[in-house]
Amino acid sequence: MVLAASQQGKDDVAGALALGELCQCYWQPLYAYVRWQGFDVQEAQDMTQEFFARLLSNNTLAEVDRGKGKFRSFLLASLKHFLSNERDRARTIKRGGRQTFVPLDAMSTETRYRVEPADNLSPDKAFERQWALTMLDQVLTRLRVEFAAADKEALFEALKPFLTGDGKADSQAEVGERCGMSEGAVKVTVHRLRRRYRELLREEIAQTVASPEEIDEEMRHLFAAFR
């Protein structure tokens, strides 16, 4: 995805789509970092959007080397450099020209930022936690799409609490009664769902590290972000 985005040309549809997906994936953790740096909502939205615009206009993504660390580390270092240059002269987003627009749910982003626990999270820790949440959300979205393709989206919504640890989740027997399944069938389906969840999570992480050997380490790092 990074390679496709870095090769984006004027008429490169695939590159534009890749860049858009990158922005969607990393908007939340980068926005959280900016907010934790003391910028208000509007400033943080402008700064994050401008940061992505700079990545495109300066072709910074072309400098990414898979063999030199994790992509999120590259992004965070780039953001820190950007903010150090912009801190004293916050800019509003300039519209028009050849700007590439990416639809971003700013209100949802701020809502997620506000529900973060009011502890002593550092900006770097906030970034790591939001990155982890974003990765897990992407996996849930992929699972939902798979179930929807099999016309079983309602079943997925009923079983999702067994993945997310929702304390208000119905028992497996109650889910079975509601979905027309035996409790045993629900247990088997939940087991398969959890296995598929782990598979997809490993696939997502594999796209962000330089080698397969780093996947397990990154998995541990992801879950450590919630401690």
Domains of the chain: which residue ranges? 1-91+108-115, 124-227
Closest listed residue to residue 186, CA positions, set 167, 209, 169: 169
pLDDT the model gives residue 117: 53
* Residue-wise pLDDT tens digits, 123-166: 888 888 888 888 898 899 999 999 999 999 999 999 998 887 76
CA 125 to chain centre: 15
The radius of gyration of the chain from alpha carbons, rounded to an integer in Å, stands at: 20
pLDDT the model gives residue 9: 56
pLDDT the model gives residue 72: 81
Query: Does residue 8 contact residue 19 with C-beta atoms inside 8 Å?
Result: yes
Low-confidence ranges of the chain (pLDDT < 70): 1-16, 58-60, 62-69, 87-120, 166-169
